[in-house]
Amino acid sequence: MPFSKIYKLHLSPQRNYVKVLKNLLGFVPGNLSLYRMAFRHRSVAITLKNGTRSSNERLEFLGDAVLGSVVAEVLFKMYPYKGEGFLTEMRSKIVNRSNLNQLAKKLGFGELIEYDSRTVSYPSKQSSLLGDAFEALVGAVYMDKGYNFTREFLINRIIKPHVDIHTLELTETNFKSKLIEWCQRHGKDISFDLIENVEEENSKLFTIQANVDGENVATGRDYNKKNAEKLAAEKACEILGI
């Protein structure tokens, strides 16, 4: 083992935190500040010298993209004869907030997340902390170790031992239908509105807003319009406790 790792594990002032991360992740982290940031909710964000507030939101954005890429590759190879619609649906089942919350809880992330319990007081909001931290952690690993390491970490440490893809294939997770049915039962209007369409070189990024009684509840973004609607509906279901 390189001396730098020995130092971090046994001699550094932060050795206890390093040991916790090693037990959790299976490797000795390099840049510890990235991992601390990954578990820092915006309710306890640190104000930096330039006035910006440091929380896990930027890493969450990055980790979401990396996780989606790795899951897409796994599914592409696992189902060589399935179409784009099936693959998109399966990816959504694996990376949806509910599944990520459960994964993060199973892996023990809850003990490391920093948040203000006075601000994040509702159970639904507290559970979403786990999924957010999971994606932020993926972003931290990517920034610390690079894509190939992160890919191997996700496949061998997370997906293979903890994600039953074949069971998920048989599981129906239609958040849009759930949201519509809930709104109908409670006499509320629901709409999915395209609020932004960013043109890129060969594709379009869709941003869909789920509105309940005219108020924005959640937003979903994807290069597939239907999937963006599903993501917005999923987040709305979580926020509304459906």
Which residues are catalytic, by number?
A: 64, 135
d(CA 235, CA 68): 16
- The total number of residues written for the chain in this structure: 242
d(CA 233, CA 208): 9
Nearest residue to 157 via CA among 130, 131, 137, 133: 137
3-state secondary structure of 114: strand
Q: Which residue has the tokens 């006075």?
A: 118
CB within 8 A of 14, min separation 6: which ones? Answer: 8, 32
d(CA 167, CA 49): 48
d(CA 192, CA 233): 9
Take residue 103 and report the two structure tokens written for it.
């994964």
